[in-house]
Amino acid sequence: MKGILRNILLITLVVAIASCNAFKKNKPGKGLPDNGQLMGIAPVAKPNMERPNGMVYVPPGTFHLGPSDEDISFSYVTRNRQVSIPGFWMDATEITNNEYRQFVTWVRDSLAYKILFGQGINKPDDTTAVDWKKVRTIKWDKATIEKLNELNLAPDNRLFGKVEIDPDKLVYRVEFFDLNNAAKRENMGLPRKNFIVRRDQKVYPDTLVWMRDFTYSYNEPMTRRYFAHPSFGNYPVVGITWKQAEAFANWRTRYMNNYLERKKFATDGEYRLPTEAEWEYAAYGLINQNPRPSLKKKSRGEEVISNKQIYAWKNEGFDNIRFVRKSNVQGAFLANFKRGAGDYMGVAGGLNDNAPYTSEVSSFAPNGFGLYNMSGNVSEWVYDIYRPLSNLDNDDLNPFRGNVFKQVDMSGGQGNLRDAKGRIQMKVEKDSALRDRRNYQRSYAVNYMDGDSLSNAFYSYGITTLVSDKSRVYKGGSWNDMAYWMSPGTRRFLEEDQSSSTLGFRCAMSHVGGSEGLSSKNRGGYDFPKRNQKR
């Protein structure tokens, strides 16, 4: 009898365990659940992204986009407007010479590999994969450099006959998938290859900007040494066009994802330039103006901004540009900028910002989000096309201007979609074909409604005549700017293929996961305490 009871108890226990296992969540790597229940697929990777190296998280929030100070020039190039920004990641510092040299070196090594081990660099159809183990065995001595004829300076361009690599031949091929055009209904069913965009971009900075920007100034030493000398390794890279900055972000994405793929991590991260609204929101670091932010506490925090800031730091002192607390740096400037005509750093023995040109990217204090030099040092490229009154026309959620919607040019037939350089031939969509669309009804959104009666933007003659569809916004003041330009709300523009000795950049990355950062517990929304039901 005892044996029968023991067997019944054992069977009951097995059934109970099996029933519990049937409703357990499927573990990663186990494939589809086989229990007859709707369980979903267990994620192979972690649900939240890892912290990108060198970046800080900028939490989401609402703020007033636009200038904080009086429009002293009466140019009316922007308006103050309330917008909301989702959370994203941003480089804590500007991209340095050292970091950009890594990009240039990668391009040089990959081209050298194709010459030494592949079919050369002048064949656009060459798909030779670079073996980086072999690249690391290349000895960059005189004999090796002489073998790189396709990369070297022509004999008549050499100084004292020295064989050197020609910087103009360091070209990176930008590649990305055009999601905007792949999503259009008329392009459904077309091969994936039709939406892969490729373009070649020279990567070496324009070191001559130090002389070009200052006609009557002795800047030859900066021209020769600023990018190449180790002493300037942690200084911001300058002489970079918007297109070069975009190419750097594309390479950085490729470089990171190749590594993550080898380590079998998720590879969805994409580096890019920040939008104008993202940059301005991040620059203010307004979490400093919240009297009781939630941070990592369990409490929700106050929904209030106590003060509007002028610069990237909290308002302190008489002129708000000096460190006012008693210390050995009391009275020093809080950013690297130009105080007045001919005054770049103060007087000997009492320098105010301690930098005649640029300064190291981690100098001065970070703002509320942990970002350095958002006011001063160098101005920075952002993603947007420039229009004086973009703030009034853009959406109030994550505003951005610069989309162009195209479709594949099928006029040459399905088998003739690429040009001589292997690029997909695209043409701007006809507006007549877009009348039934809900998300956009004009294909060329760069200058949509400029000056129209339906638009808030009217661009007067004489001030904005240099604005084109290639004019890109840059933000923040530089070492060569007065204090007015230190305010994150100010904005200027430059053609995307031009550069300056006062202009650099930093990268951003869209955040995936909870709105408050890395923890999987922060999943958006709120969980309210449950009420006990009275019976």
Other CB atoms within a 10 A radius of the CB of residue 343 amount to 10
State the Cα–Cα distance between residues 472 and 493, nearest whole angstrom.
5
Q: Is 301 inside a domain boundary?
A: no
Q: Is 210 inside a domain boundary?
A: yes
Q: Is 246 inside a domain boundary?
A: yes
pLDDT tens series, the chain, 535 aa: 555 555 555 555 544 444 454 444 444 445 666 778 787 776 665 555 678 889 999 988 888 887 766 666 666 666 677 888 888 999 999 999 999 999 999 999 988 888 888 766 666 556 667 878 888 888 888 888 888 888 887 878 788 878 888 888 899 988 888 877 787 788 888 888 888 888 889 999 999 999 999 888 898 999 999 999 999 999 999 999 999 999 999 999 999 888 877 776 666 678 999 999 899 999 998 888 777 776 555 567 777 777 778 888 876 655 678 877 777 777 778 888 888 787 777 788 777 778 888 999 999 889 989 999 999 999 999 998 887 665 555 666 666 666 554 444 555 555 555 555 454 555 555 555 444 444 444 444 445 444 444 444 444 434 445 677 788 999 999 999 988 898 898 888 899 999 999 999 999 998 876 666 555 555 666 666 777 766 5
Domain residue limits at 196: 97-272
Q: Is 223 inside a domain boundary?
A: yes
Q: What is the pTM of this model?
A: 0.78
Task: Determine the straight-line distance between the first and last CA of the chain, rounded to whole angstroms.
Answer: 44
Q: Is 157 inside a domain boundary?
A: yes
Q: Which of 173, 69, 186 is nearest to 125 (CA)?
A: 173
* H/E segment holding residue 385: strand 379-385
Q: Number of helices and strands (H, E) in the chain?
A: 10, 16
State the Cα–Cα distance between residues 212 and 219, nearest whole angstrom.
9
Q: Is 117 inside a domain boundary?
A: yes
Bridge-based pairing state of the strands 491-495 and 471-475: antiparallel
State the Cα–Cα distance between residues 473 and 495, nearest whole angstrom.
9
Task: Specify the number of domains making up the chain.
Answer: 1
Q: Is 177 inside a domain boundary?
A: yes
- Burial call 135-154: b when 16+ CB within 10 Å, e when fewer: beeeeeeeeebeebeebbbe
Q: Is 232 inside a domain boundary?
A: yes
